[in-house]
Amino acid sequence: MQLEKRLLACLALSIAATGAGAHAAGSAPFLNKFNTIKSLASTVPGNGDVNPYGVAVIGTSTGKLVKGNILVSNFNDAANQQGTGTTIVEVSPDGHTTQFAFIDANALPGTCPGGVGLTTALAVLQRGWVIVGSLPTTDGTSATAQAGCLIVLNSNGQVAEVFSGNGIDGPWDMTDLDLGGAAILFVTNVLNGDATTGAPHVVKQGTVLRITLAVPQQGQGKPQRVATATIGSGFPESADPNALVIGPTGVGLAPNGTLYVADTLGNRVAAIPNALTRLGSAQTGATVSAGGALNGPLGLTIAPGGDVITANAGDGNLVETTPAGKQVAVKTVDTATGAGSLFGLAITPQYNGVYFVDDGDNTLKLLTSSYE
């Protein structure tokens, strides 16, 4: 009950400060402010992991975490086998790269069915805890994919605990509402049902979980999983020989409490209303926008004015969509490595660009203005 009260109070302040998240009539689309692509750094660490997926900007300096730096999770190992990546790298805005964490599947302090294969589900909390999803395989194929878990690391990149089961089944992407002493995670899951059994086929069982955590200061205990609720269900998911698995991916929370979901196989952006407080599932949510410039939306983030930014799997474009469903901007950010190279993305803290990973050449890049 206390967590709910704090959450609602924070939400009220957020709405008052930023408005309901609607695109202001006549205002320029956020993406149209930018015209330059900067390649910041390679995301390949010393062990050779490739295929960068998750992107999260660090908000507070503590331990190895430096405010303003960017964390990137790797999904593949050096042999390019999907679902076997074990590293998170930390990149500064000027391109300096260090390894934040290596996660040993044999040394986890809890159960993570299948081991470690780090996904786009990546969050950094203000108290220094880092949470990353694992959808592991043993040989890089969907036939060996297992349910995985969420892995919690401290600010020095050391694994503190593992959350598994109770709805976590192939955690694919994640966003959070960080309240300091509490946090709400929204996690998409893509391994429900028999999506990876036999020939690729579509199973309408993908979910979105809301996971409530109690979050202590570093050195005063570990985050505790307080409650879990399924707030979205029935999203299409399927094994894929090139992408391992396809299903609901990016999620972003608007100030008015609406959770936007990139429904990749449905080729649409969906909205789950009252995501913070709803007691049951909204099923696959309301369709905000479908088709048009959308081409298998994967990564998703919310622009400062409330528009939804998605990264396409089928081409090298970012698409900006208003909460009312109008696609107002398309920005090509990848032409060299082709379709399937885009995944996680995040708005810069100064709102002067968009960070995105290019898993075609294993880099972190920045869409920004030529004068930045």
Write down the residue that tokens 């004015």 correspond to: 305
Q: DSSP string spanning 164-233?
A: -BTTBSSEEEEEEEE-SSEEEEEEEE---TTTTSSS---EEEEEEEEEEEE-PPTTS---EEEEEEEEEE
Q: Tens digit of pLDDT for each residue in 125-183?
A: 999 999 999 999 999 999 999 999 999 999 999 999 999 999 999 999 999 999 999 99
Closest CA relative to residue 98, chosen from 138, 149, 157? 157
CA distance 56 to 348: 10
The residues pairing with 259 across neighbouring beta strands, listed in sequence order, are 253, 272
Distance CA(249)–CA(152), nearest Å, equals 20
pLDDT band (50, 70, 90) for residue 338: low
In the predicted structure, residue 200 carries a pLDDT above the cut 90 = no
pLDDT at 21: 43
| Res 366: pLDDT | 97
Is the pLDDT confidence value at 108 over 90?
Answer: yes
Q: How confident is the model at residue 198 (pLDDT cuts 50, 70, 90)?
A: confident
Cα separation, 224 vs 220, in Å, equals 12
pLDDT per residue as tens digits for the range 83-107: 999 999 999 999 999 999 999 999 9
Length of the chain equals 372
State pLDDT tens for residues 18-74: 444 444 555 899 999 999 999 999 999 999 999 999 999 999 999 999 999 999 999
Residue corresponding to tokens 């996971």:
211
Percent of the chain scoring above 90 in pLDDT: 87
pLDDT (tens digit, 9 = 90+) per residue, 241-275?
888 999 999 999 999 999 999 999 999 999 999 99
Q: What is the pLDDT of residues 237-250, one digit of tens each?
A: 999 888 899 999 99
Nearest Cα to Cα of residue 120 among 176, 175, 49, 166: 175
pLDDT digit string (tens) for 216-235?
999 999 999 999 999 999 99
16 φ, ψ to 5°? -65, -35
pLDDT tens digits for range 287-296: 999 999 999 9
Mean pLDDT of 332-347: 86
Domains of the chain: 2-368 (2.120.10.30)
Q: Please report the pLDDT score of residue 18 as a whole number.
A: 40
Work out the pLDDT band at 197, boundaries 50, 70, 90.
Answer: confident
pLDDT value for 7: 55
Would you call 291 exposed, middle or buried from its count of C-beta atoms within 10 A (0-12, 13-18, 19+)?
exposed
Q: In what order do the strands lie in the sheet with 159-163?
A: 118-124, 130-134, 149-153, 159-163
Q: What is the mean pLDDT of residues 355-371?
A: 93
Helix H or strand E segment including 16 = helix 2-18
